[in-house]
A and B are shown apart, each in its own frame.
Chain A
Amino acid sequence: MEGNMNLTLKVWRQKNTNTEGNFENYDVKGISEDMSFLEMFDVLNERLINDGQEPIAFDHDCREGICGMCSMYINGSPHGPNRGVTTCQLHMRSFKSGDTITVEPWRAAAFPVIKDLTVNRSSFDRIISAGGFVSINTGNAQDANALPIAKEKADEAFAAAACIGCGACVAACKNASAMLFTSAKISQLALLPQGQAEREMRAEKMVAQMDVEGFGACTNTGACEAECPKGISLENIARMNREYFGAVLASKEHE
């Protein structure tokens, strides 16, 4: 026992994609407020293993808030109650002893549950494959400083590029829309001169892929921006819409 917090966890358990899941309750004792939320799960899992039960499966990797792998829906919020942090950077000092904490996986048709709290987010990779790049083969680049970019533009592109692809935006959205994720990549490249050549095609293809994957529509409630651990702005969605409608009009003209 390292600390003196006692908590009740209500955790979603689901054997695999094809079975139904349900909540299970677990009491965890002796939690330190310096533990991260995932370390608290480590403590619980160690106990479950020692008791001959199956530990709870959850995604995690870097545990420093940058890989985007961790993905818990905690008390009705993706990544928990704090703004601007991922689950791995959420620490137990944000809770009180005696709290009951409900933990679920991301819920979205495009993110099927693999097991317990682990979901399949490969739909995001396919959206990037549809157009989230600059088509420049290795070895074709000019000298990096041959292309000056105004600092403000570069900073704005960087802010959009900070997306970690965790999917919290989708989990937060009542329509399970992937507009914030998709728009962040479209914005990053639309803001930079390197992205201009494929600008229209990119917006059209990425939006089309988003629809194919079964993500919902955007109704501008802003929940995605509020829950994004990296502060990706709603302005990106507005920019994406301009890019998309511009592209659609342009391709109609070409017809």
Chain B
Amino acid sequence: MATSPRLDAKIPDGQLSDKWTKYRSTVPLVNPANKRNIEIIVVGTGLAGASAAASLAEMGYKVKAFCFQDSPRRAHSIAAQGGVNAAKNYQNDGDSVYRLFYDTIKGGDYRAREANVHRLSEVSGSIIDQCVAQGVPFAREYGGLLSNRSFGGTQVQRTFYAAGQTGQQLLLGAYSALQRQVGLGNVEMFTRHEMMDVVMVDGKARGIIARDLISGKLERHFGHAVLLCTGGYGNVFYLSTNAMGSNVTAAWKAHKKGAFFGNPCYTQIHPTCIPVSGDHQSKLTLMSESLRNDGRIWVPKKRDDNRPAAQIPEDERDYYLERRYPAFGNLVPRDIASRAAKERCDEGYGVGASKKAVYLDFAAAILRYGRGEATKRGMHNASTEELQVMGKEVVKEKYGNLFDMYKQITGEDPYEVPMRIYPAVHYTMGGLWVDYNLMTTVPGLYALGEANFSDHGANRLGASALMQGLADGYFVIPYTIGAYLSGDIRTKAIPTDAPEFVAAEKAVQDTIDQLMSIKGTKSVDYYHKKLGLIMWDKCGMARNEAGLKEAIEEIKALRKEFWSNVRIPGDANEFNPELEKAARVADFLELGELMCIDALNRNESCGGHFREEFQTEEGEAKRDDENYAYVAAWEYKGDSDYELHKEELVYENIKIAQRSYK
């Protein structure tokens, strides 16, 4: 297999461990006087966007940042719970840049690009340094040094955290840096603005059309370069752990303007979420993977066992992850843990009213911590009750906010009864294809963070999303953007009355007018829920050829119905949340089809992509390295028309092997 000539990843030559250092020192620079005249548009203000906008502004570029929320601080990075990985080896447990790199490639089921992942691993330590310097209050030990815990798919402790609110603290750090630049006048911030399209001039991205969500007015904005930091597209499933407003619109519009979409079918289904409670469900809530440090996952050994958990004796419980994967136990990667839960529930061992749940049990951890506390306090004959009281205090300190959230949502107290959990859509490894510089196939258009496809292969390891978002924004783009902008110092700001801007705005206005004129009978949510069900049933945790083919036809039909029968109340020239949703769902209705096409094309199982036809005798994902060790980058050619381009994945440093966590 040869890489398509359309996909030049621009990976620097040389030894893997030297590539980034050498490249960073030789990438062309833009001098300070020229930076002042260069404008950069950053769309999205999560970890990737806020860190990029702040860093680029600190360097002297003129930055315009956009977010659809009422404040940049609300981007959905804020909801990340468990932690951020970094190869600091503070625990002296054998961690290293190479080991983090290796774990990430293996965790991604050998479908990520070596050079990008190694760079991510190299800069990971600087992220922790930067965040601490900003005043991010990470968890600490009594000696005053930083604390670490473990996440899935690793055997070291390299995850830094701030209780169960790590994403919040990291984002508020980046947000503070961003707001500082706003205050200094180096960043112009546009809140409650949605990017509606990319503006192309002479084959390069030169700006965006944005909609002011309060007035409904369309605006034209010029930029020498445009950075999309707009997150993932998990909301194509309707129910996911994403925020209600998370959407694919910016990335999808870029795709339709020439940016190839990489591996759209790679979706992460997170194993530990609060199960669906009814049709009213609007979103799913994650229970952090960090809980698997201490929680044990089990189901009854007997099918349809309706006894309460406490009445099921130890020898009638099946700790199926510990049984199947003794080396990693409850800390296997997410794709494996999710499939194992689905397998048990499909076989009839599920718990709770819906039988679509497994237990995550803290009783053993509470006793273990209780014994630890008793020893510290010199209590040699502590009763079980005393041990439990002390143990619960420790568990509360570690996971208190998660336990409170669980109780609030379910009405059950997880200190007393095991949590019921089930997998849910959480993260999308796929995204816009980018080269080593994070540039898409459109010159001047970049994608950072979850919006790109680059670092996690077919499955992301826990606590690596925060790492990647901040790596891209703080430590990668500030250097790599020079490769493009150094050639652009003579480009004057293009006036926004140029014909390309006028035409782009008109196209957006036409789409809005068309949506408003349908005046049908069904709400946007009606269509979004239907799309979500198709995707979950046929392009979710397990996929097969027949189902995917059906899904493609069903999505096409649904899309047609949407465009003839959706009802959007109100006007376009006012604050109109239903119109916002409609424009986003229109894009999901196209993306969903491409995800199914990609899943159908990939005749193998890898990471989060599990094709039922391709599994080992033990039910594990069976890759086909001979035929599918490539990135599938799709080019938009027109309605339902996509052309596949392949980027061959070459492993020069890691021996590609069957992924085993046994």
Contacts and interface: CB of A to CB of B under 8 A. Distances in A.
A64 B279 CA distance: 18
A145 B91 CA distance: 12
A194 B244 CA distance: 35
A34 B131 CA distance: 38
The 10 A-B pairs with the shortest beta carbon distances in the complex, nearest first, are A148-B144, A129-B183, A141-B133, A133-B176, A141-B129, A158-B137, A144-B132, A138-B55, A61-B243, A129-B179
Given A114-B575, A139-B130, A151-B140, 14 more contacts: A46-B525, A61-B74, A61-B243, A63-B244, A68-B74, A91-B408, A91-B411, A125-B71, A125-B182, A132-B176, A141-B129, A144-B133, A158-B169, A189-B135
B567 A134 contact: no
Interface in A204-232: none
Contacts, number: 227
Contacts of A36: 282, 409
Nearest to A50: B523
B79 A157 contact: no
A155 B140 CA distance: 8
Contacts of A140: 133
A62 interface: yes
A142 B280 contact: no
30 contacts: A42-B525, A43-B280, A49-B569, A50-B521, A52-B569, A62-B76, A64-B405, A67-B76, A89-B408, A91-B408, A124-B71, A125-B73, A128-B176, A128-B179, A129-B182, A134-B133, A134-B176, A136-B133, A138-B474, A144-B133, A144-B138, A145-B146, A148-B144, A151-B144, A154-B140, A155-B137, A158-B162, A161-B172, A192-B137, A195-B135
B223 interface: no
A166 B521 CA distance: 35
B282 A39 contact: yes
Interface in A183-199: 188-189, 192, 194-195
A100 interface: no
Contacts of B76: 61-62, 67
Contacts of A84: 404
A125 B179 contact: yes
A69 interface: yes
A85 B278 contact: no
Interface in A53-69: 53-55, 57, 59-69
A57 B70 contact: no
Contacts of B414: none
Given A49-B567, A194-B135, A150 B280 contact: no
Interface of A: 2, 15-16, 32, 34-36, 38-39, 42-43, 46, 48-50, 52-55, 57, 59-69, 84-85, 89, 91, 93, 114-115, 118, 120-122, 124-126, 128-130, 132-145, 147-151, 154-155, 157-158, 161-162, 164-165, 188-189, 192, 194-195
A138 B54 contact: yes
A46 to B, nearest CB: 6
Given A42-B282, A151-B142, A67 B79 contact: yes
Centre residue among A32, A57, A62, A192 by max chain B CB count within 10 A: A62
Interface in B481-525: 521, 523, 525
Contacts of B277: 32, 34
B141 interface: yes
Interface of B: 51, 54-55, 58, 69-74, 76, 78-79, 88, 90, 126, 128-146, 162-163, 165, 167-169, 172, 175-177, 179-180, 182-183, 189, 191, 214, 241, 243-245, 277-283, 285-286, 404-405, 408-409, 411, 474-475, 478, 521, 523, 525-526, 567, 569-570, 574-575, 577-578
Nearest to A34: B277
B411 A151 contact: no
- Main secondary structure, interface of A, reads loop
A138 B574 CA distance: 39
Contact of A91 (B54, B243, B409): B409
Contacts of B214: 114
Given A68-B73, A68-B74, A158 B163 contact: yes
A69 B578 CA distance: 17
B145 A148 contact: yes
Given A89-B405, A144-B146, A158-B163, A129 B129 contact: no
Nearest to B470: A138
B403 to A, nearest CB: 13
B90 A145 contact: yes
A110 B140 CA distance: 37
A135 B180 contact: yes
Contacts of B411: 34, 91, 93
B199 to A, nearest CB: 26
A64 B140 CA distance: 26
Contacts of A114: 214, 575
A176 to B, nearest CB: 18
Contacts of A93: 411
A144 B474 CA distance: 16
Contacts of B241: 64
Contacts of A130: 183
B169 A161 contact: yes
Contact of A121 (B71, B72, B283): B71
Contact of B405 (A43, A65, A135): A65
B530 to A, nearest CB: 14
Contacts of B175: 128
B26 to A, nearest CB: 18
A68 B214 CA distance: 19
A202 to B, nearest CB: 11
B390 to A, nearest CB: 18
Given A54-B569, A138-B55, A63 B282 contact: yes
A138 B478 contact: yes
A69 B408 contact: no
Nearest to B523: A49
A18 B452 CA distance: 41
B73 to A, nearest CB: 6
Nearest to A133: B176
Centre residue among A42, A48, A52, A61 by max chain B CB count within 10 A: A61
A140 B563 CA distance: 52
Centre residue among B165, B167, B241 by max chain A CB count within 10 A: B165
B138 A154 contact: yes
A39 B135 contact: no
A57 B74 CA distance: 18
A148 B143 CA distance: 7
B584 to A, nearest CB: 13
A120 B280 contact: no
